[in-house]
Amino acid sequence: MRIGKIHIILISISIFCCIGFTMIFNMPNSPTKVRLKTTQKTYEAGDNIIIDFERDTTLAAQLFLKSSYGSTMITSSTGEFVVPDYFSRKKGRLDYYLVQEGECLYQGVIDIEAKSKTKIQLETYVGPPSIVAGGEDYTMHVVVPSDIYDNPIADSTKIWLKHQFLGLEKEYEEVTKDLISWKNIFSYSKKGKLLISSQIAEIHSKEFTVEIYPSLAQNFKIYSFREHEYADGNQVTTFTSDVIKDSFGNIVSDGTMVNFVIKNSEGSLLTTQGTTVNGIVTAKLLHPDHADSWEISAFIDGIAESEILEITFDGVLDDFEVSFDMYQREIVVGPLTSFMGQIIPDGAIVKLEIYTNNELIETKVKTSFEGRVKFVLEEGFYPDGEYDFRIKSMGIAKWFKNRVLQ
Amino acid sequence: MNSTTNKYLITALLIGVIFHGTSIFFTIEYTYDALIHLFFGNHYANSWFEPWSYSWYTGFTVMGYPPLVHQSIGLLSYIGGLKFGLFSVAIIAIILFITGVYRYALVLTSNRTVAGYTAILAVFSSTFIETLHIFGQLPSIVGISVLMHSLPEIYLWIKVGKLKYLINALSLISVTVTSHHVTPIFGMVFFIFPLIGMIIMDAARDKAGSYKEIRLLHFIKTFFGLLRRIITFGFGSLILIIFCILPYWINTKNNPITQVPIPHGSRDNFLEVTSSGLVFFLIPWGVLLFLLPYIWYRFFSKRYLFFGLSFTLLTILGTGGTTPIPRAILGDNAFNILTLDRFTLWASLMALPIFGEFAYRFVEGDLRDKIKRRYGNLLHRILGGLLGSAIVLMTFFTMCLGYFRPLQPAQIKMLPILNFLKQDQHDHWRYLPLGFGDQMAWLSAQTDAMTVDGNYHSARRLPELTTRAVERLENSKFRGVEGIGSLQQFLTVPEKYNLKYVFSNDKFYDPILYFCGWQRLRQLENGIMVWEKLNVPPLSNILPKDNVPLFQKLMWGLIPVLTVLIAFIINIQLIWIHALKSKFKAFPVYFKYGIEYVGFKKSVIRASFLWAIAMCGIFAFGIYLLYVKNVTQIRPENVITAYYDALDFKEFQRAYSYLHPGSNKSLDQFMLEVSVTDGLLSSYAKLDKLTIEVLKQTDTSAKTKVSGNWITPLEKIDKAFYHELKKEKGKWYVLPLDYDLDIPPDQLFSENIPTYYNHGRRRITSEQTHHEDVLKQPVLEVLSARIINNEDQYYIVGELQNVDNVPSDVVVSGTLYNDDNIELASYNVKHQIKHKLMPKETTSFRMNFEGIAWKNIDDQKPTTFDPEQFTAVDFDGQPAKFNLQCAGNVATVDLYKRVVINDLTVKNTGIQGVLFNSGLREVTIPQLIISYYDSERKLIWVASKYLPEGIRPQRKLFFEYDFEDLSCAIMIDESMENIFVNGLANEEISKKMVPERRHDQKQSQLIPIDGKGFKYVKIEINNYVGASN
């Protein structure tokens, strides 16, 4: 196609028209007159808020809303702007700007207050849920009264904070400040359950529980109980304490760990431990299998301790029989007898030390069965010759020297 | 084409689908791989285009495995669920395999009857049975089957040159590559190259007149004649291999496999590790082993020459580490990455047509005639019977292998676990299954919850896993130090991975869980024990992922299925159209190259006979060796070994049979004595090494010292036992050891102890726990803490007390800083602590700073197992300060504190003592925690010792402990400034909770010792109670 004059003219005309219309549409508006018809400045949450302007409604305008919960833009064809409920239900300051084509025509503020004539809701927090008796430790009770839309209600609202402890019921009147009301509840000197609630007007909160635990334990006494005083290695000695209490007379909490340290006559430290039930600790230890004396002290680590308790154990036997067979290869120890002459319960330890040329070559350890222990020295392992034996049981040691094995 | 149906093929298909199709329902879920494919299938079913899966390894991409089979499972799962998808794909794979073998045999032998025979034999081929029913390698089977389908098309393209064949061939190659990436790459070398060689031979024969007259020159000329077609095909398939799974290649390039290779049985020396030899050599070869001379004879005929070469190479590569050749051929790197069993698979599949040919000749061909003529009818029947029974036996054995030697733990009912994960937002944390086998994949497929573990080891991402040859944490006990070491790290610092729940299906792991501070929650209905760790934060809502470009996602999601559609349309549909048109069609060209089956060579028969007899001899010898190994009582060492072996495997009756008959111990008494022993050694240990030293020996008696090394989840135990032995009637016997005759004081006794219950959530609601139901964290007080440098490693040691009124679980984590306050390392206290404290109870603790073991490839790895060992962190500077964060949480379980020290003998080198269990519960593993103090009674070291035996109530246990040498221990810092408990400063707590602490009490609680570098010690006892009744 050839480009003729006619084309050039047509194109020029159309470009001209375009420019012309654009200029017309871009012509600045004459300043629009806007007047706020709505006079109310303060609302209650949940009210139907309408912001009405007197203006030229042929031109599209938008209302920009801004509150602490967020911002939004709403439109209206009539000039009446209805504030959506997610704004009108929130307490606080609501800024609004009437905007037309990027230009702010009007700016205003509305205050929304918490709804006063509805049921008030109480939001309550209590913590920590457990504290220690004695009046030093405390728990904090925080109440946030709010309206049905969850707006905190106005400051200086009266609130009753209540708690109950043992025979005691207390009630404090507080006023809300900075939206909340709070109180520190210090522990009493007794342990127990502290029940907490709050009230505003006719509205009651639910019940909250704070456990008051006993304070640190005081020194205590310990006792021992045993079936007999013999060191037979076969009965249990039980250590107990008196009721362990804190300085306010509370029994320490169940499960408190008490360590018993027992110093025996050799100076070794044996340990046993127990946990308290109703303040009394029970710990157990087996009787020694040789005459011994024990010094017992008990500790709640770093916090309390007992007086020292001393007990002694008498040996059950002074001597025991040992018989050798004719080849000296079978050694029978026993009968091992106990304090009444009865056969010692099975399991008494007998040690046989075998020496040649004053040198320990082996230690055999066996436990008694029906009062006796039999050692067999096999030919293959112990060639014929002279041996020394030392036999030890229940704290008694006996030497048998120069025995000739055949 | 011949319009008569091949009755052999139909038979093979029928038998194949019925036999395999029904038996997969009983086998495939117990295989190694099938459930992994199921898991992947589930991933595609849920998010087809999203390659990132959060389920395993803190997130990984599924672009690490060609997707076709998984996507097919995913697609079919829309019809009838995941397992339906799996079984359908398996049945499709069976059909593809049988028809694939048939078509491959047809190309190779040009005889429909022989190909029919091959198809039937393929159904019962032990290698196929093993791959499907034991390994469950569906993609591998689909890949090789489709590759075999493509062989006739490739033949026709190169021979005839019609474009149609090229398209058919390439379409099939693309299906192969999208189902299994390794198959087409190696298949090119091992199947297609020999095929091309054979085509050239055939073409050369056309020119030369017969195979005999083909000379090298003919061959080369023909080769150049066909070169254009070969190159077209070669390039075409290369492009397809790259294009069809392009995202896979990109992913491989971006995330190269830098992991430490995982040991695989196929790389073993089969003569040394006979179990690997069985699974990776004997079973796949099966009956073919007896026919090797015939197979080689046929493969090295001129036409099949290249197949012969390929077959030989495959056979050698399949022998793994038995000979050094595979490693030399493949190179160290490839040898350690590839699993070599696939070579044996391909070799045995390659030989199938020759086997079919043999069978045909034996059943109705010239071989039958020859044998009948020369040796009579009877021998032929006997041989037939033998061959038939060999096949039946092999099929039986292979199918039932999983029954005789279960590859997987017994099937676990997943529903209770799934319910547990769904309840109470338990899936907001990660979980870890232990002892699940491959069923962990099935669990993952069913739940949205995530695990730190996973079952596709190429996709492992955490360095704790990739730097070790640990396939899965789940079966870490089979991986010795590396496995348990990895697991311990995950269990010690679970916060790092948001790991809160462990599902344990194996008692072996219980002690390690307990001593790392985990607690039992409850046993589910299916017997799985749930362990939980307190103080672990839940997962964030948004988790990191590696994104890939959209085009890759689209390619990955669309191409694989598209290749199947295209292949289906152009291959199958055309065949149908042809069939419907029933127009006469000529045989494909390869049909004219078949050989006449006449005149079976005598020499081959002889060689085969000799070979078969030799094979029988070898088998008999192997069985004999196995028998001889089990003669136990000819020497003292043998009977001791056998005795300990029997005890290790808990075969108590066998162990009893080695006891001296004159020892007056009845079997009942022996069993009773065994049953009352519990503890680390008898319940959680595996015998690793036994050294037997004969101290004295006469003709009829002997005395031995037996030093055993046992591996337990906690530590290696070295223990020596002395045994006396007697010989009677030519057999050695062990004299029974004395057992403890001690009688406890009381028959029946009672005890008052506090027990606890925590409601958790008091109101039954699905909402988050109400704030008033949340207990206060128990207050702990750190009494002392300091950095200690001992033998060039840094530790934090300290003491802490539960100063609250409720029992507490304790988590202690520490961080080391240098002088410039730059963080050097951070870790948690592992097992040198009592993790559960009663009110006012104190514990000492020691924190090791563990790094990730063997981070550098060159690091020397230990050759033996030592669970105690850990790799210390490499510090960038000198630690000078530390920070300690302790957290208490209310504990209600594992509070047994009744083991006491009843007797103690103190020397400067160590202590001997007697523990007494004064309470009501049986302690399975007592742990001694020994604190060392200096002359100012400052804590300088904490050590621990597990006692190998348990203690029943009112029983005693002797123990010995040797002190450590602490002359090198240096105190670095003991500032208590940066110690926090539950986020609060320790100093404040100290002031408030116990303002007048009595430090003097220590004086009477510490045992004075003149040790190397220390002056006092204290012993605490921590008890693991196994039975959770």
Looking at the domain A222-313, which fold is it? Immunoglobulin-like (2.60.40)
Answer yes or no: do A269 and B806 touch at CB < 8 A: no
Q: Residue-wise over B313-351: b if at least 16 C-beta within 10 A, else e? A: bbbebbbbbbeeebbeebeeeebbebbbbbbbbbbbbbb
Instruction: Give CATH for domain A322-405.
Output: 2.60.40
Q: Are A154 and A145 in contact (CB under 8 A)?
A: no
pLDDT tens per residue, range B744-788: 888 999 998 899 998 877 777 666 666 777 889 999 999 999 999
Q: d(Cα A180, Cα A145) in Å, to the nearest integer?
A: 7
Q: d(Cα A352, Cα A368) in Å, to the nearest integer?
A: 13
pLDDT above 90 as % of chain B = 34
Please tell me whether residues B590 and B467 are part of one structural domain.
Answer: no
Q: Where are the domains of chain A?
A: 35-113, 121-213, 222-313, 322-405
Question: What's the whole-number mean pLDDT along residues B931-941?
Answer: 93
Residue B828 tokens read as: 């948690």
Please tell me whether residues B641 and B704 are part of one structural domain.
Answer: yes
**pLDDT confidence band for B859 (50 / 70 / 90):** very low
Q: What pLDDT is recorded for position B287? A: 87
Q: Looking at the predicted structure, is the pLDDT value of residue B384 above 60? A: yes
Residues in chain B: 1029
Among B701, B807, B916, select the one facing A255 at the smallest CB separation.
Answer: B807
Please tell me whether residues B424 and B382 are part of one structural domain.
Answer: no
Q: Looking at the predicted structure, is the pLDDT value of residue B860 above 60? A: no
Peptide bond into B544 cis (omega under 30): no
Q: d(Cα B259, Cα B272) in Å, to the nearest integer?
A: 26
- Residues from chain B that touch A263, judged by Cβ atoms under 8 A, are 1004
The reply to whether CATH 2.60.40.10 applies to domain A121-213 is: yes
More confident residue, B719 or B853: B719
Q: What pLDDT is recorded for position B438? A: 86
Among A234, A266, A366, select the one facing B738 at the smallest CB separation.
Answer: A366
Q: Looking at the predicted structure, is the pLDDT value of residue B288 above 50? A: yes
Question: What's the whole-number mean pLDDT along residues B502-513?
Answer: 89
Coil, helix or strand for A108? strand
pLDDT tens per residue, range B708-717: 888 788 877 7
Question: What's the whole-number mean pLDDT along residues B20-46?
Answer: 90
**pLDDT confidence band for A303 (50 / 70 / 90):** very high
| B 784-813 near A (Cβ less than 8 A) | 801, 804-807
More confident residue, A186 or B857: A186
Give A353's strand partners: A363, A390
Kindly write down the DSSP assignment for every residue of A345-356, as one continuous string. PTT-EEEEEEEE
Please tell me whether residues B787 and B708 are part of one structural domain.
Answer: no
Q: Looking at the predicted structure, is the pLDDT value of residue B124 above 80? A: yes
B668 touches chain A (CB under 8 A): no
Please tell me whether residues B134 and B273 are part of one structural domain.
Answer: yes
Answer yes or no: do B806 and A253 touch at CB < 8 A: yes
Answer yes or no: do A282 and B902 touch at CB < 8 A: no
B477 inside domain: yes
The CATH number covering residue B670 comes to 3.10.450.100
Q: What pLDDT is recorded for position B873? A: 66
Tell me which chain A residue has its CA closest to the CA of residue B842.
Answer: A301
Residues in Cβ contact with B419 at an 8 Å cutoff, skipping those fewer than 6 apart: none
Structure-token match 């039986």, residue found = B396
pLDDT tens per residue, range A369-381: 888 898 888 776 7
pLDDT tens per residue, range A182-192: 999 999 999 99
| A 235-254 near B (Cβ less than 8 A) | 235-236, 253-254
pLDDT tens per residue, range B226-241: 889 999 999 999 999 9
Q: Looking at the predicted structure, is the pLDDT value of residue B1011 above 60? A: yes
Q: What pLDDT is recorded for position A17? A: 57
Q: Which of A131, A259, A275, A368 to mutate to probe the B interface, most B CBs <10 Å?
A: A275
Domain limits at B726? Answer: 630-734
pTM (predicted TM-score): 0.85
**pLDDT confidence band for A313 (50 / 70 / 90):** very high
Q: What pLDDT is recorded for position A157? A: 83
Q: What pLDDT is recorded for position B769? A: 65
- Residues from chain B that touch A214, judged by Cβ atoms under 8 A, are 805
Q: Looking at the predicted structure, is the pLDDT value of residue B582 above 60? A: no
Question: What's the whole-number mean pLDDT along residues B679-697?
Answer: 80
Q: Looking at the predicted structure, is the pLDDT value of residue B841 above 90? A: yes
Q: Looking at the predicted structure, is the pLDDT value of residue B862 above 50? A: no
CA distance B895 to chain A (A): 10
More confident residue, A349 or B859: A349
| B 875-914 near A (Cβ less than 8 A) | 895, 897-898, 900-906
Q: What pLDDT is recorded for position B783? A: 94
B621 inside domain: no
How much is the mean pLDDT over chain B?
85
Structure-token match 């599209």, residue found = A60
pLDDT above 90 as % of chain A = 33
Q: What pLDDT is recorded for position A24? A: 46
pLDDT tens per residue, range A318-336: 888 899 888 888 899 978 8
**pLDDT confidence band for B895 (50 / 70 / 90):** very high
- Residues from chain B that touch A299, judged by Cβ atoms under 8 A, are 1001, 1005
Q: CA nearest B828: which of B798, B850, B800, B799?
A: B850
Q: Looking at the predicted structure, is the pLDDT value of residue B216 above 70? A: yes
A60 touches chain B (CB under 8 A): no
Answer yes or no: do A130 and B999 touch at CB < 8 A: no
| A 94-153 near B (Cβ less than 8 A) | 125-130, 132, 136-137
Please tell me whether residues B880 and B1014 are part of one structural domain.
Answer: yes
Q: Which of B805, B984, B1005, B1019 to mutate to probe the A interface, most A CBs <10 Å?
A: B805
Tell me which chain B residue has its CA closest to the CA of residue A296.
Answer: B1004
Q: Which of A193, A207, A263, A273 to mutate to probe the B interface, most B CBs <10 Å?
A: A273
B452 inside domain: yes
B543 touches chain A (CB under 8 A): no
Q: What pLDDT is recorded for position B628? A: 64
pLDDT tens per residue, range B864-876: 444 455 666 666 7
Please tell me whether residues B675 and B821 are part of one structural domain.
Answer: no
B458 inside domain: yes
Please tell me whether residues B202 and B276 are part of one structural domain.
Answer: yes
Q: What pLDDT is recorded for position A347? A: 85
Answer yes or no: do A130 and B776 touch at CB < 8 A: yes
Question: What's the whole-number mean pLDDT along residues B156-162?
Answer: 87
Q: Which of B902, B928, B1016, B1019 to mutate to probe the A interface, most A CBs <10 Å?
A: B902
Q: Are A254 and B892 in contact (CB under 8 A)?
A: no
Q: d(Cα B767, Cα B11) in Å, to the nearest integer?
A: 62
Minimum mean pLDDT among A257-266, B606-615, B803-812: which range?
Answer: B606-615
B1005 touches chain A (CB under 8 A): yes
Q: Looking at the predicted structure, is the pLDDT value of residue B341 above 90? A: no
Structure-token match 């036992």, residue found = B721
B323 inside domain: yes
Answer yes or no: do B753 and A209 touch at CB < 8 A: no
Please tell me whether residues B461 and B403 are part of one structural domain.
Answer: no
Q: What pLDDT is recorded for position A57? A: 65
Q: Are B119 and B8 in contact (CB under 8 A)?
A: yes
Q: What pLDDT is recorded for position A2? A: 57
Answer yes or no: do B901 and A272 touch at CB < 8 A: yes
| A 252-311 near B (Cβ less than 8 A) | 253-257, 259, 261, 263, 266, 268-277, 282-286, 288, 297, 299-305
Among B738, B752, B776, select the one facing A282 at the smallest CB separation.
Answer: B752
Answer yes or no: do B900 and A288 touch at CB < 8 A: no
Coil, helix or strand for B871? coil
Among A217, A253, A301, select the one facing B842 at the smallest CB separation.
Answer: A301
CA distance A317 to chain B (A): 19
Q: d(Cα B783, Cα B837) in Å, to the nearest integer?
A: 15
More confident residue, B1025 or B596: B1025
CA distance A114 to chain B (A): 26
Residues in Cβ contact with A275 at an 8 Å cutoff, skipping those fewer than 6 apart: A254, A255, A256, A257, A258, A281, B753, B754, B838, B897
Q: Are B453 and B62 in contact (CB under 8 A)?
A: no
Kindly write down the DSSP assignment for every residue of B654-723, as one continuous string. HHHHTB-GGG---HHHHHHHHHT--SHHHHS-EEEEEEEEEEEE-SSEEEEEEEEEEE-SS-EEEEEEEE
pLDDT tens per residue, range A126-142: 888 999 999 889 999 99
Q: Which of B773, B912, B918 to mutate to probe the A interface, most A CBs <10 Å?
A: B918
- The amino acid that residue B775 corresponds to is L
Q: How many CB pairs under 8 A join A and B?
A: 162
Q: d(Cα B1013, Cα B965) in Å, to the nearest integer?
A: 7
The structural domain count of chain B equals: 4
User: What is this model's ipTM?
Assistant: 0.81
B801 inside domain: yes
Alpha-carbon dihedral angle through residues B389, B392, B398, B399, given to the nearest 10 degrees: -150
CA distance B640 to chain A (A): 18
Please tell me whether residues B814 and B858 are part of one structural domain.
Answer: yes
The reply to whether CATH 3.30.930.10 applies to domain A35-113 is: no
Please tell me whether residues B302 and B191 are part of one structural domain.
Answer: yes
Please tell me whether residues B316 and B432 are part of one structural domain.
Answer: no
